[in-house]
Chains A and B, each alone.
Chain A
Amino acid sequence: MQNKLNNKIYNEQFLLLAFISLITFKVVMLPQYLVKTAGSQSYMTMFFMIAIEIMMLCVVYGITKNGSILQLDIPKWVKGVFAILVFASSLIKSTILGSEGVAYISTSLYGSVSWSFVTLALIIVSLYLAHKGGKVLGRTVQIFFWVLIFALVFYGVFSNFNFEAINLMPFKISSDLAVAGDKFLMWFGDFTPLLFMSTSPSSNRKKSTMAIWITFAVIATLICSVGLMIQFICIFGASGAVVGNAFLNVSSLNKISFMIGSVDLPTVLSWLIMCVIKFALLLYAMAECAKFFFGNKILVSLACGIIVYAVIVYGIGNLKTSYNLATSWLRYFAFLTEFLVTVAAYIAMRVSMNKKQKAPAPQAVNNQGEAYEKA
């Protein structure tokens, strides 16, 4: 029951977590890779994939509204299969995509700090959040939401660049877009960690307010992913193929950078927060899956952290290996797992609900459960 309460989040928190989950690793190296493969039309690939992800997130929300994936009334072995698949997918994503974050911090932010230190720092913070559960993740993201808003407003007010729309032309759909979509599947489909949470509306929010929030979240997601991609292409054109860290390079171009030096700190800070939360989300998914088999122990979470640390530092170690792994067959496994588990979880949720509807509800027990949750 305690675990059930730890993973209960409000709808707003779900929206924020979903936003971070979708955006974080799409704004670092992916724009460069997409431009290299699909040229100036690559923003279309980003739009298409993001649209699919948003649609899938609606399915994920539908599932979490009725409880976490591990709370469903389905055979235990099915839950076990889900847990194994999500564990593997989250391990792949946290190590391969996590390496991007580590590379950015160790090279762009600090010059040449060892990956070992950066990974250690990142994992300790993320693991703490992950072990505490979905509720703590939800609260954390809610607290830092204002930092993200500040960074976005700051960027919007002070950004300064030549918007060369000609770089986006011609508007044509080519096979390169599909090739890019296929090659960089690893960066898309990051929603299974959210399946372990259960969402509920907060008491002081009306349905209409929630609808506005959802609209904002969708617009913000499109602006921060497709919008950034368009901006990146307009600013750098084809030379974007050699520009790493898209968000950093775009945000460094602002009106006051020449007066007081580079003022990309708010953007960097907000991305770092997003990186920690995204990393924590993936570790959380891994820990929840492992806990399903080995029980709710801190050692289980620690073991997950150690595995991720070892793979990033000793297995991957540099951005080139990370890229090679991300574009290898592993991408199909990770992407299919994300989609198949979500679809299968939806079916399982419907089956579980049907079962519940058919079975006579033991009133007293339900009331007790509700009372416990309220408490």
Chain B
Amino acid sequence: MKKPKFINKKWLVILVISLVLVTFSFLDEQKSIAARTIVLALSLDKVDDEYEVGIQVLKTDKSEKQEFLTYFSKGDNISDIIEHLSYDTGSTVALCHATVLIIGQDVLNTDDNKAMNFFFEGEVLCNNTMVVTSEQSPREVLSPTLSNGVGSGYFLGQVLHNMVGDFGIIPITIKDFFQNKYRIGSCVYLPCVSLEKEGDTTFLDITKSYVSDGKKGVMLSEKATKGLSLVLNKISNGTLPYQYESSVGELNFVKSAGDIKIEKDSDKAKLQIKATLKDNTYVPDKVNEELCKEYVSKEIISYIEECYNNCKDEGLDVFYLGQRCYAYENELYKDPFYLEKLQLEIDVKINMK
């Protein structure tokens, strides 16, 4: 005799699937994209021993005109501030699409990376988010709308992402910021942005840079920043002017990269810059290549020396020589005054195309 079938297998499977789907539909913690405020850029500063976080968002409605809004909030704790900002904006603040973080010099030198850890370790920001500091307060740089109608924070993020590999600019992501922070010497370098005004035109200047080890910092001039970018960046774009005898011209960077080696039992750090340049300005026949190379090499060395000496005077190991000593098994990195004991030898090899 056949046993009566109480439950049909197919219906049981459908029931289980429905139950699971219904249960998951109650996951109301998940806000839809419409209920989120997508942050394009943010700033972080310390004001009166409190953190001040600013966010820039794009107001979207049916009209075609773009409106960039900025919100600021203060507090002791970054996560509380972000919650406040969520109240202010009326929806959950989502930082994962932020293109740039403008960080105050005070935060860099006095905060011991507490706030930055929140953004990096907590995976709040994307690894590709650019980090910059500013000559004015981060608030002043983030909030204005530039002459082209774009919010300055958002514009800064876009520009920096497009400038990776440019001569004289040192864009750095939050991932690289922390990579450098964990190196011997704890030195970080980042572009220093300045909001400039010329008549009715408001624009951003990103030609300077700032170097900090978490306790002290030094501002690098445009020339020194060029030196820094030559040593630490792989350059694929930019121009270098030259002048010898009566010739004046401009060389384009095809590619350039720096390499520093320190031998095991040596106190000499050998820096080699290999650059391929192309003269587009004049008829190549009229250019004295050797003189041109000599001039350019001297210029490059002067850029690098300015950068290195400015940082060394402040005790900042901007070229990570301590880390390189460790990598090449040179015991010098154990000496607290290794920077003073090491000598930098610069060798520039120019290739003309």
Contact = CB atoms under 8 A, between A and B. Distances in A.
A294 B181 CA distance: 57
Contacts of A244: 121, 123
A106 to B, nearest CB: 10
A166 B324 contact: yes
Contact of B182 (A113, A241, A252): A241
B84 interface: no
Contacts of A257: 126, 128
Contacts of A110: 27, 29-30
Interface stretch (A116-124, A145-153, A363-371): A116-124
A230 interface: no
B29 A172 contact: no
Given A111-B30, A112-B29, A166 B24 contact: no
A71 to B, nearest CB: 29
Given A236-B179, A242-B178, A117 B27 contact: yes
Given A166-B327, A170-B327, A170-B329, A113 B127 contact: no
Given A169-B328, A253-B127, A253-B128, A120 B20 contact: yes
B298 interface: no
Contacts of B161: 258
Nearest to B121: A242
Contact of A121 (B20, B179, B234, B326): B20
Contacts of B120: 239, 242
B175 interface: yes
B97 interface: yes
A184 to B, nearest CB: 20
A235 to B, nearest CB: 7
Given A166-B323, A252-B128, A258-B161, A113 B27 contact: yes
A261 B99 CA distance: 10
B1 interface: no
A113 B29 contact: yes
Interface in A117-165: 117, 120-121, 124, 162, 164
Interface in B105-133: 117, 120-121, 123, 126-128
B16 interface: yes
Interface string A89-111: 00000000000000000001011
Nearest to B23: A117
Task: Classify chain B: how many residues form its interface, as a range.
Answer: 20 to 34
Given A108-B123, A244-B123, A253 B23 contact: no
A164 B180 CA distance: 11
A231 to B, nearest CB: 13
Interface string A218-252: 00000000000000000111110111110001001
In this complex, the member of B23, B126, B179, B183 whose beta carbon has the largest number of chain A beta carbons within 10 angstroms is B179
B344 interface: no
A240 to B, nearest CB: 8
Contacts of B181: 239
Contacts of A111: 29-30
Contacts of A252: 126-128
Contacts of A112: 29
Contacts of A237: 179, 182-183
A354 interface: no
Contact of B175 (A117, A120, A235, A241): A235
Contacts of B324: 166
A114 B27 CA distance: 8
B176 interface: yes
A92 B181 CA distance: 37
Contact of B30 (A113, A236, A241): A113
B214 to A, nearest CB: 14
A170 B263 CA distance: 12
B327 A169 contact: yes
Contacts of B175: 235-236, 239, 249, 253
Nearest to B92: A111
A262 B96 contact: yes
Interface string B162-203: 000000000000011011011100000000000000000000
B127 A261 contact: no
Contacts of A261: 97
B16 A124 contact: yes
Contacts of A162: 176, 234
Nearest to B162: A258
Nearest to B117: A242
Contacts of B16: 124
A149 B29 CA distance: 33
Contacts of A172: 329
Contacts of A170: 326-329
A197 to B, nearest CB: 25
B19 to A, nearest CB: 10
A117 B22 CA distance: 11
A284 B26 CA distance: 30
Nearest to B177: A239
B259 to A, nearest CB: 10
Nearest to B327: A169
Contacts of A167: 179
Interface string A167-184: 101101000000000000
Nearest to B184: A238
A244 B127 CA distance: 12
Nearest to B29: A112
Nearest to A261: B97
Nearest to A250: B127
B30 A124 contact: no
Given A120-B20, A164-B179, 16 more contacts: A110-B27, A110-B29, A113-B30, A117-B27, A120-B23, A121-B20, A124-B20, A166-B323, A167-B179, A236-B175, A237-B179, A239-B175, A243-B121, A252-B126, A257-B126, A261-B97
Interface of B: 16, 20, 23-24, 27, 29-30, 96-97, 99, 117, 120-121, 123, 126-128, 161, 175-176, 178-179, 181-183, 234, 323-324, 326-329
20 contacts: A108-B123, A110-B27, A110-B29, A113-B29, A117-B23, A120-B23, A124-B16, A167-B179, A170-B327, A236-B179, A237-B179, A237-B183, A239-B178, A242-B117, A242-B121, A252-B127, A252-B128, A257-B126, A261-B97, A262-B126
Q: Which A-B residue pairs are the 8 nearest by beta carbons?
A: A169-B327, A238-B182, A239-B178, A239-B182, A237-B179, A170-B329, A242-B121, A239-B179
Interface of A: 108, 110-114, 117, 120-121, 124, 162, 164, 166-167, 169-170, 172, 235-239, 241-245, 249, 252-253, 257-258, 261-262
